[in-house]
Structure formats: C-alpha cells, structure tokens
Structure 1
Amino acid sequence: MRRSCTAWLAAVLCLAQGIAQATPVAATPPMGWNSWNYFAEKVTDADVRAAADAMVASGMRDAGYVYVNIDDGWQGQRDANGVIHSNARFPDMKALADYVHARGLKLGIYSSPGPKTCAGYAGSLGHEKQDAKTYAEWGVDYLKYDLCSFGELMKSTAPSNPEQQMRMMHEAYATMRTALNEAGRPIVYSLCQYGVDAVWEWAADPKVGANLWRTTGDIAPHGEFVYAIATMQAGLANYAGPGHWNDPDMLEVGNGDLTEAENRTHFSWWAMLAAPLLAGNDLAHMKPEVKAVLTRREVIAIDQDPLGKQGTRAYTDGEVEVWTKPLSHGGLAVAVFNVGDTRYAGTHPFRLDLKRLGLHGKQQGTDLWTGNAVTLDDHQVVGLASHDVWLVRIDAPHTAG
C-alpha cells in the first residue's frame, strides 16, 4: 500500500507540475497597481499597504487586479556580502509581501540592469543572482527591470558601436532572466527600456523570456500623451499573445488633467491593445467615477480575453480612429475614438463603415460603457464627443463574404 500511495502521489505531483508548466506566467495581460505615477520615488511601506487594502475594498481585486508593484525608491544599501536591503521607508520587505499575499494579491518590485536606478538607488549590475534570490525569499511575484543607467554604460563602453550596445542590452536582460529562473519562484518579468532596438522582436525569445516590454517612452496624465502612445502600437499586434505582451506603459486613469471622457478612452484603448492594466493613481483616495472606470468589468473582459489578440487599427476617418480586436468564440470588439481637438464644443458626427471592418449587414452588439444593446449598420450616424470613445462588443458578427 505504501508503494502504491507513493506512486500515486508522484503521479499527482507530476501532473500538477505539467499543468503549471502548460499555463504560462501572464497568460493574460497583468493587472494591478504601480506606485510610480502618483508617489514616484517617495513611496513608502504604508503607501503600498494602503494600496493593497484599497484594491480589496474598492472591488478592484475581485475585478482582476492582482499585482501591487513597488517602483523605484525602495532600495537601501548592500551589505558586506553584496545583498541588497530596503531603505528606512520599507523596514521589512518580507512582512510587506506577507501582508499583500494575505489579501489575495501579489507583490512586485523594481530594479535596473545598471549600477543605479532612474532615481539613483542601487541597481542590480553584478548582483543579478543575489537580487533574484533575495526577491524570491521575500516573496516577490513581479519584477520591473528598467534600463536607466545601463544605457549610459552601453554608450561609454561602445561609444561608436551601436550594434555592440544592443548586444550588451540583450545580454543584460538575459542575465536577469537566468537569475530569476534559478531563484525558483514564478516571477513576472517586465522589461522597461522604452522600445529600444524594436524590443518586441526579441524580448519573448526564451533566452530573455520577458512577459511584457515597454514599447514607448513614459506616459503622462494628459490626453495628447495617451493618444500619441496608443497610436504608436499600430503594427505591433503580431508580437503579443499569452505570456508575452506589448506594454504601452501604466494607466494614468484618475491622474492629472484627464477628463472623465479621457479616462474612459484611455482605459478602452489599453483594453483594445491587450495591454497590462496597471493603475497608477492614489487608490486609497480615488473618486467614485475613477473607480467606476477601473472596475468596468465588461471593458476589462476585452483586455483579458483568453484569445490573447491585440487590437489593430481598422481605419481612420478625419479625427476619428476605428480599431477592432478579435475575441474568443468568434466575437469582435469595435472601438471608435474621437481624437479631435477638445477646444471645439459639441459632438463629432461619424458614420461607421462596416465593410471596412470586414462585416456585412446589421450587427447586434452591446455598448460596453452603458450596457445598452445596439445595432450597428452603415446608415447610422454616431455622435461622439471629443476625446471620448464608443466601445461595442459583437458576440456573433456577420462577416463579409
């Protein structure tokens, strides 16, 4: 009996291991919160705990937000053995991870392949294995790895050899990937190097093994930044999929001078792009209308659709952009964005051309921001306010031909 039980247990463990290996880390775009957009390098342990509590209390966790990510500013000094320690604002990282995990959430952290981070704290250069081991011991679940000072190192090492600089960057990110693998804990690996060297073409290679990678420079909480970054994602859809995602940067919903319409547009566009949904606002003090955007489950479902397809631009018509995103079970999301100047009052009349979307005849759908059933046809005129969005899900589209 003992032998058979042992054999049975071994079989179960092997099966469980196989299932775990078959399910990639970040099978859908990661969802959570990041400290940088609101707190920058002044973030504290208390801020992170408050964010974790707010994610639970607001319903964000139940809507799919999981990661509580500490960005730059947590690092202290290395000890005599080179082990990194957190600074006085983070007195006990293991205790913080336990606090976050106890709420059904996961903890993220930040470093750089260079000697310093963007804010001037200790980076991981020469300590990759030590740092990955430390993160795993603390219980870290996500690493954002920011190029920062390594970019200067590339230039100083090979000032007239761009090809060598790119090789150095690839190798630096591969080094941390190896270290994370050896640390023995599943950790989402997020590359932050601003799209340098067409990162989408090499970041998912097993040697680098990134789960997401920044495609542009930093976002800012203004409508023109959101629009500029969103449109830069055109042409990148083929590089995204389960386990590896294009990252147009963190969400600014609820920050800066974004209007309610711009918050909706920002969130809708990131959902259409199958982008990571990492809130960047002060969760503990967010307004009800901001929470309503961030927890709109019908829109989140577009982002988290298991098919894992990034949306693409179908066509533009003056100041209007039309994007589509294939969904599982043959569905289709259609987003109409009015990117026109907000100085002009009123709405922008627009007639949807279904043939340019590969559709034929009337289409029955759902407006994902109102919940209303809608009929799409070639004769209706959409009145859309400046910087607003019309987002429709069609579960059974009638295609042309």
Structure 2
Amino acid sequence: MLAAGGLGTPAQAAPTVTPAAVASHQSPSAPQDLAPTPPMGFNNWNSTHCRAEFNESMVKGVADVFVERGLKDAGYEYVNLDDCWALPQRDENGKLVPDPKRFPNGIKAVADYVHSKGLKFGIYTSAGTKTCSDIGFPGALGHEYSDARQFADWGVDYLKYDNCNNQGVDAKKRYTTMRDALKATGRPMVYSICEWGENKPWTWAGGLGHLWRTTGDISDNWNSMSSIMKANLELAPYAHPGGWNDPDMLEVGNGGMTDTEYRTHFSMWSVMAAPLLIGVDLRTAPESAFDILTNREVIAVDQDPLGKQGEVVSSEGGRWVVSKEMADGSRAVALFNEGSRAQRIETTAKAVGLPQARGYTMRDLWKHSDTNTAGTIAATVPAHGTLLVRVHADRNWAQYPPALDVRAQDTVTQAGHIAPVTSEVTDLGGNAARSVSAVLTGPEGWRITPKSATSVRALQPGGTLATDWHVEVPTGTAAGDHVVQLTAKQRTRSGTWLTSTVPVTVRVGVPLPPGESALSDAEPLGSANGWGPIERDRSVGEAGSGDGRPITIGGDRFAKGLGVHAASSVEYYLGGACTTVTAQVGVDDETVDKGSVTFEIWADGTRAAATGTLTQTDPARAVSADVSGADVVRLVVTDAGDGIDYDHADWADLRVTCG
C-alpha cells in the first residue's frame, strides 16, 4: 500500500505510451506459466488494514468461504496476507517472526491449511527497511535471500513486494534482487511488484515479475476507483500472458460504492485483464458482493487466454467505449458511463475491431441474454454504470431477437409543472422485433400520460417506436434529480418476453429570485466534485464537509462563492428567466504553489465562457457569461489537461442576474 496524501489529491500517473516504449519492454524472465492469466484471489488489506480481526482465524475462514461459496470453482485460488503479519523486530538470527497473537501456530500452519483446500497462499513485505504500516514492520531490503528462503519454507506461492522506506535505492535494482532471491529458493512464486507506478514499471517489470502496480492505492469510493481505472487504461500495450498491469485490489462489497459502481469496478478490471484480488472480508460480505464476484461470464473476459488488455475506442463526454480482443475472435465491449446521470453510449462492430458481417450476436454478460445487431452497439447506461457485452460475427444471428436501443432525453422543469418527454425504441438488429411496447413509470404520486402510440405489432430493422409523454411533477416535489423508468418489451419467437429498462432523469428546479443574487445561497440542481464536497462561501479544504478556509485568491479574500476541486461541475436551475452569471475565479491560495485549472460556464449545452489555464500564481480573473433563455447553467472546472494535483478552485463572488 501507499501512504495517504495530504491536502488535495495527488496526481495519478498519466503515462505516454509510444511504440518505442513498448518495443523496449522486456520479455518476462519470471516463469510465465505461474500467471498465464491474471492472478485471482483474496487480500485482506482493503477490509482490515492492521486491525485485530486480521488473524489466523480470518485467513482460514476466507479459505473455507472460497470452497463453500463457489469462488474456488470460479477461478479464485490465492489467499494472501498483507502487512502486519509479523512482529516489529527480527529475531537474533535476523529472521522474520510471525505475530504470535495473530498467528499463534505460525505462518506455515496457515499456508498448510490453505493448501489443504486446494488453494494457494501469499504473503507481503516491502522493498525497503520497513513495511508501509505506521508501526513499520521489518522490510526485506538487505534481507532478500533470507526472507525469500523463509517464504519458500513456509509454502508461500505469491509475494506482494511493496515500496515503502526504500532508502532511495534504485527501484529496478531492489526488485531485481528479490526476483533473484525468489528464483534461488527453487519454489515457484508469483511475484507482484507493488511500486505504485512511480518509475513506470510497465516498461521494465515484465522482465522481473508477473504483475506490477500502475498507480497509488485504491480507496473504496467512486473517485478513487474511476481515476485509477482511467490511468491504467492507457497502459494496454504492456499487458501480456505472464505479465499484467495491476490497478490494485478490488473493493467490491466493502460498502463505499453502490452495486452499480461495483459492477463497473468488476467489469472494467476484467476488460483491463487486471488481477482480481478480492478485498472484502468474505465471511461477512453482502450477498450482492458474491453475485458480482462470481459472475463467470465476466471472469472469463478477465481470464481470456489471449491475454489482451482492453483498449479505449472513445471517451468523449464521459461516455467510454473499451474493446478487448478475445481468443475466439469475439470482442468484449464495455460501455462505461463516467457521468452522474444516465447517458446513451454508441459504437459499432467495426469500431471495436470486428470484421464486416451481415449480423452479430451480442451477449449481455450481466443479464446473461443474447440479442443480434446489424452492427450498432448502443445503450442508455445508468450513472456510473457499465454495459458489458461480448460480440462476435455470427452466421446464425437471426436465431436471436434484435437488440433494442431504448432511450429518452432528460428534461428539466419545476414542481407543479408538466415536463414533456419523448421516448424512442429502435430496432438495432437484422430482423423485426415483435410486439414491441413502451411504458414510462414514475415515483408515487406522479402522473404520466402517453400522448401518442405506445406499441407496435412489428418493429422493422432500423425502425423506431417514438412516444410522447406528459410527466406531471407534483407540487411540493423536492428540487434535484428524480428518475422515471422507461421500459421496452418485445416478444421472442419462443413466446417469452425480453425487457429492457433504462432511467430517464426529470430535473426539478426552484426559480431564482429576481435581480442580482449570490449563487452560493441557492440550492444546486446537481453537482460533482473531484475531492471532498463542494463548499459554500469557503475553500474546498480537505475531504470533510465544512473544513475549508476563507476563499482567498492571490491574497484577496472573498466572502461569498463556491470552493471546488477539479474535476468539478455544479448546476443551477434558471428556468429561462436569467441573463448573466459573473464571478472572480482562480486557484485558492491554500494550495501553496500547486494547482492548475480552467473555468467554464455552460448555458444548457453551449459553452458561454471559459478562462483558459489558471495557476496558483495568477490573481483572480473576472469571468462573465450570457445565459439568456437557458434552463440550466453549469459551472465546470477541469484539470487543465495536466492531471489532478491539488486543483483547489474558487468561484468567488459568484452572482446571477434574473428577470
């Protein structure tokens, strides 16, 4: 693991992958047959850290769950210890000593138990004088051959080798020494190089180990997981059988994300051919975690023997398309929605690398259902969600029902008003969809009335069933985003019904007062922030709520405004009644010579103002935008294209003028 950062968020690696760099990547000298596909297993750190529940009983219990709940049969095989398993001091002979309270029978007894279940056992140390915990247990720097010998004698099958307290010794030298020490034991061990991506291990670690960390530590939250994922996606050319990019362990089931976000986590790690190391205490994990972790069709994407990491096809507007070439010629395609509301994402069979064909079979790996497409791959994907499909050219495509593209535009209104919504159900396949219908349902008390046809007996290829709806928002409905559900049905040849449901967002706003007012006094329609919550009338500060300081730019203090952190977006409802938004913007002084951002003001879908790059050395800059007639104003802060690094940004003296 890597120690947590301080104020703000440290930058994630943004590597540049060039053909020359890939060509210089060494072929593995570690035995490839130890990790021909990405390792799968368990590591305790994400759920226990150094707490007392990390002990012999836990490790044995996890091994039992592997067998009892089908994880072993699904492909998981390693049960790995992380930091804190040893005493803080070596013995008089320089040997590592297992903590007798945590492991009263020693490490070999635990390894023997894991092996008795038909599983493999892993352990942890650091390529430094001490490990990464605050206590600082003995590291292996200078003790590599002795420690490796102990690991081999205990029956260790997997070593995670961390990077703390390394005394400035060259990384490649440190990790090479341990590689040689492991080899000298004669015992095969998977070698996990946990160097955090600091020295671009993807360019050299393939000659030493079987996997290498590409980023800092993951945390159990959306921003951490998604930023790590995006950094790792750039390294696709370096992954190969026997050598894998490692974006860190899984957080599925630990409780900091929604099940939708955990499915994205698991889907994208699999598309990236990442090691799948479970990080939840399986003895107490929720049932939903087992449903995700044991999805064998998704696991098969990760474990595909071709060993290709998925490559980014497109990512515009937070609508990601990632395609992974599979050994059977198919493509695993992830449609990933980075946004905070549902978005439609579209690509084609040609774009994801498939040959031209009359028709394609498309398998939804979470619904476990098959449809056909003439070439378009499209879906409305929930916020932070991922559609994962496996697509291949198929002469027998017509035996499956056509894929339906189900969508409707989000709408914005006020409580007590009627919002018009138009839904569309389009046949993407090569044959007609039968008995197609659409229904729009909302929360209790909402009245939704169709104003045009809601069904059609047969929907021809490329045809669309368009339906107009009136959505009446009850008086008293709270401001913010509310979801109605659009459900489309079609009847298959066998007489069963195939159903697709997508969310549609109805945004309910509160009109702003006439005249000039401070936007920080209004309730946002929606917001997203790159670090901690958005703060009113203070800087963003640390990750907690209300911990910011007075807004200060270039030594000037401001009483009103918003403190945010890139990447950030704050939206306010204008209802077509406002004319101008103004602010003084800049990087807050609390960053101390760090941070570079840009500010943008968007009126509905049009960018109305932008500043260009501002840094901590720049004074506050005035920005003004004409928002006449717009329903929504969106205030955006980006990282200026150089990664997120203490990008504390202020919308100081933020004001709006309304009629």
Give the TM-score normalised by the residue count of structure 2: 0.53
Contact 1:352 1:377 in 2 (8 A): no
Contact 2:71 2:294 in 1 (8 A): yes
User: Which letter does structure 2 place at the counterpart of 1:116?
Assistant: K
Tell me, yes or no, if structure 1 residue 40 matches structure 2 residue 49.
yes
User: CA separation of 1:264/1:284 partners in 2, compared to 1, >3 Å: closer, same or farther?
Assistant: same
Contact 1:365 1:392 in 2 (8 A): yes
The residue correspondences of 1:1-400 to structure 2 (distance < 5 A) are: 24-42=33-51, 43-76=54-87, 77-88=89-100, 89-91=102-104, 92-119=106-133, 120-150=136-166, 153-154=167-168, 168-205=170-207, 209-341=208-340, 344=341, 347-359=342-354, 360=356, 362-377=359-374, 381-396=378-393
User: Which letter does structure 1 place at the counterpart of 2:287?
Assistant: P
Give the drift of 1:378. 5.5
Separation of aligned partners in 2, 1:268 and 1:242: 19
Separation of aligned partners in 2, 1:317 and 1:113: 40
SS at match of 2:179: helix
Separation of aligned partners in 2, 1:380 and 1:274: 22
Q: CA RMSD in A?
A: 1.7
User: CA separation of 1:277/1:240 partners in 2, compared to 1, >3 Å: closer, same or farther?
Assistant: same
SS at match of 1:149: coil
SS at match of 2:130: coil
Give the drift of 1:374. 2.1
Contact 1:351 1:378 in 2 (8 A): no
User: CA separation of 1:315/1:286 partners in 2, compared to 1, >3 Å: closer, same or farther?
Assistant: same
Separation of aligned partners in 2, 1:380 and 1:306: 25
Separation of aligned partners in 2, 1:257 and 1:362: 41
Give the drift of 1:351. 3.1
Query: Relative contact order (C-alpha < 8 Å, sep 6+): which is higher?
Result: 1
SS at match of 2:234: coil
User: Which letter does structure 2 place at the counterpart of 1:128?
Assistant: E
Separation of aligned partners in 1, 2:228 and 2:371: 29
Give the drift of 1:376. 3.4
SS at match of 2:315: strand
SS at match of 2:280: coil
Q: Which runs of 5+ in 1 are unaligned?
A: 1-20, 155-164
Contact 1:252 1:279 in 2 (8 A): yes
Deviates more, 1:370-379 or 1:192-201: 370-379
- What percent identity do the matched residue pairs reach? 46
Contact 1:78 1:84 in 2 (8 A): yes
User: Which letter does structure 1 place at the counterpart of 2:176?
Assistant: A
User: CA separation of 1:363/1:317 partners in 2, compared to 1, >3 Å: closer, same or farther?
Assistant: farther
Separation of aligned partners in 1, 2:159 and 2:206: 15
SS at match of 1:125: coil
SS at match of 1:99: helix
Separation of aligned partners in 1, 2:184 and 2:78: 22
User: Which letter does structure 2 place at the counterpart of 1:58?
Assistant: R
Separation of aligned partners in 2, 1:265 and 1:357: 19
SS at match of 2:216: coil
Cα deviation per residue 1:314-355 (whole Å; 9 max; x = unaligned)?
A: 1123221000000002121111001101xx4xx323333444
Aligned residues: 357
Q: Which runs of 5+ in 2 are unaligned?
A: 1-29, 396-659
Cα deviation per residue 1:44-81 (whole Å; 9 max; x = unaligned)?
A: 11111111111111111110000000000001232211
Q: Which has the higher strand share?
A: 2
Give the drift of 1:248. 0.3
Q: Which has the higher helix share?
A: 1
